[in-house]
Amino acid sequence: KTYNVAILGATGAVGQEMMNVLAERDFPLNKLRLLASKRSVGKTYQYKDQVIACEEATPDSFEGMDIVLGAVENDIAEQLLPHAVKAGAVVIDNSSAYRLDDNVPLVVPEVNPQDIQKNNGIIANPNCSTIIALVAINKLHEYATVNSIIASTYQAVSGAGVPGLNELNTQVTQVMNDEKVEPQVFPYQIAFNLIPQIGGFDEMGYSSEEMKMQNEGRKILHHPELNVTCTCVRVPVMRSHSESLTLFFDKEIDVEKAKELLANADGVKLVDDPNNKQYPMPLDTSDQDLVYVGRIRKDLTQNNNKSLTLWCCGDQVRKGAATNAVQIAIEYIKQNA
Ligand code: 2RA
């Protein structure tokens, strides 16, 4: 069986990566429709041996589509994706518009693939930093139940799409040439800087990005008691997010057991030999789909063997967005074959 697939937001960083991953994984495609804004109409892209032109995304763009991959911001997702559902497609949406909607499953295929079946036409792709964290901790959680997490994230500029990538590139050149830096995408200069803000702040002083790990983690793990104190920082790295996670468990788990579990965990590459300078780094995780996990060690704030700290990195554009969405599509057609 082959499928008609549309990518809504085909010209953005995530939309482009969705095309790459569909091709790499040889998705059983009958037709691929590339949908974008009016200004991109006619822009062509190579998909395997085909040249495909972008079409304007309108409410009628989804006729005949089986699967729609959403790679647009919330406002456009809410405006157009209901039309895709009405046209009979199943939508896998990377925006945050529907992630916490009770009628919409929120899925990391390595963690909760069974939730795909609960869809009513839309399946939500979690936030990139949530995906990377949950892939890293999934097998540890299964074994010893994670109840609390203290997380610090070091998020690549690709999280702000092509404009974010371009801004870092431009600013590095400007700084090296002693030219004036005028931030457009980020609130301050990002080159040679760290910005502890991603999204707006709530009344507790948490950013919207920081609350996602707790809110989305509770839904994906079916663990409403999960508590997460998260600090999200934008860093001058191109396309991989890094995260420091301190995990507080229900039962004892030591470093050796954690390494054994992670060595066999879906979607994880254990890179943990610090004495030989082997640990996850964003340059190593870019352009591939595994979440690298390392620096696993006992948490020194507790003396009960029920907490560990670790470091992980993952490609934000791929596993953090495009690959996770395509993996959901592949799992969906498998479950409905
Ligand atoms: C970011 N996770 O990194 C957000 C949106 N992709 O900017």
Integer CA distances (angstroms), 52 to 8, 85, 179, in order: 14, 24, 40
Alpha-carbon dihedral 228, 297, 321, 234, rounded to 10 degrees: 70
Model pLDDT for residues 12-36, shown as the tens digit of each residue: 999 999 999 999 999 999 999 999 9
Cα 238 to Cα 161, 212, 242, 257, 315, distances in angstroms? 10, 22, 11, 33, 10
Nearest CA to ligand 1 atom 3: 159
Decide if 223 is catalytic. Answer: no
pLDDT for 229: 98
Can you read off the two tokens belonging to residue 8?
Answer: 């809504």
Q: Can you spell out the DSSP letters for 78-114?
A: HHHHHHHHHTT-EEEE-SSTTTT-TTS-B--TTT-GG
Q: Which of 73, 95, 128, 240 is the best mutation target for the ligand 1 pocket, counting ligand atoms within 8 Å of the beta carbon and taking the most?
A: 128
Per-residue pLDDT tens digits for 45-60: 999 999 999 999 999 9
- The pLDDT, as a whole number, for residue 121 is 98
Question: If you take atom 7 of ligand 1, which residue's CA is the nearest one?
Answer: 159
Q: Which of 54, 128, 232, 313 is catalytic?
A: 128
Residue 49 is predicted with a pLDDT of 96
Q: Which atom of ligand 1 is nearest the CA belonging to 161?
A: 6
Ligand 1 centre to CA of 244 (Å) is 17
Question: Which tens digit of pLDDT belongs to each residue from 185-200?
Answer: 999 999 999 999 999 9
Query: Catalytic site residue 128?
Result: yes
Crossing angle, helix 255-263 and helix 128-144, to 10 degrees?
A: 120
Query: If you search the block for the tokens 């139940």, which residue do you land on?
Result: 145
Global confidence as pTM? 0.98
- ipTM of predicted complex: 0.97
146-155 and 240-249 beta bridge pairing: antiparallel
pLDDT at 276: 98
Q: List, as residue ranges, the binding site for substrate.
A: 155, 234
Tell me which residues have their CB closer than 6 angstroms to ligand 1. 127-129, 155, 159-160, 198, 209
Confidence (pLDDT) at 284: 98
pLDDT tier for residue 63 given thresholds of 50, 70 and 90: very high
CB contact set of 66 (below 8 Å; sequence gap of 6+): 3, 4, 5, 88, 89, 90
Residue 44 bridge partners (DSSP) = 53
Q: Which two tokens stand for residue 247?
A: 């995990």
At 278, the amino acid letter reads Q
